[in-house]
Every structure is written in structure tokens, then in C-alpha cells.
Amino acid sequence: MVVLYNYEMGNFKKTTKTKEQWKSILSKESYQVTRESGTERPFTGKYWNFDQEGTYKCICCSEPLFESDTKFDAGCGWPSFFLPINAKSIKEIEDNSFGMSRTEVKCSKCDAHLGHVFNDGPQPSGLRYCINSVSIDFEE
């Protein structure tokens, strides 16, 4: 079942798939990161050192998440952004796993794990959305 989010109407609905359906459309690494809250190794993802102009979308449901003009080099080895396209396209969840206190970032439309957000980014937001390359796709 595929359901969409309509920003104009304020009608929030999710994209849902079974575990088997997600596995059939995602690479093994994308599945592990987005559906099982994994993390790719730093400095290995295809977008950490990538600077073309366009839009970064959720790899699972194609929800637009970040524009290239909000991407910056945080030196952390993952693509980093200081602002999402729309605050409604992502959700932030307290994450106390692995003995750390962080804020997890998920796609609002399909609940894909994207990465984490930190308070050490540039202005105007002061935020660093640290996103796994395998959780996003790029469109010029």
C-alpha cells in the first residue's frame, strides 16, 4: 500500500511496505541503514564529497529532503546539510542507543532512517543534518 503526504491539505499518510518489499527494491546496504537504523562507514558514501546542484531525495520513497545549496563540508565523512527542504518531510526522534544521546532523523513519509542531526552546523540554522549516502538519492 502506498500513501502520500499532501502538504496543502495537511493530510499526513505514510508509504508502507513489507520487509520483503523493501528488500526487493533497496540494495543490501540501503536496506540495512534505512530499515534497520544502520550507519555507513564515514568517507565511503557516494555523496559525502559530492557537489552537483540538485535535490536529495529519500532512497525509499523519493520524498524531497534537502537541496544542494544547504549542503556543506562538515569534515565528518557523511553528507551534511543545514536545513531540510520542508520541516514536514523529516521527523526527529530522541536516540539514546550505543550509550550516546543523539537525535535521529527519519523520513516522515516512509520512516526510513536517514542519519542524525547535531547542533554544530553553520548559520542560519546552526544545525548539521548528518545523512547516510545510502539513504538518499540525488536528482539534478
Query: What are the grid coordinates assigned to 10, written together?
Result: 495537511
**Catalytic-role residue among 58, 60, 61, 130:** 130
Output the CA torsion sign for 108, 91, 72, 134. Answer: negative
**Catalytic site residue 60?**
no
- Closest listed residue to residue 129, CA positions, set 57, 78, 68: 78
Beta bridge partners of 91: 106
Show Cβ contacts of residue 103 under 8 Å, excluding neighbours closer than 6 positions: 92, 93, 94, 95, 116, 117, 118
- Report the catalytic residues: 130
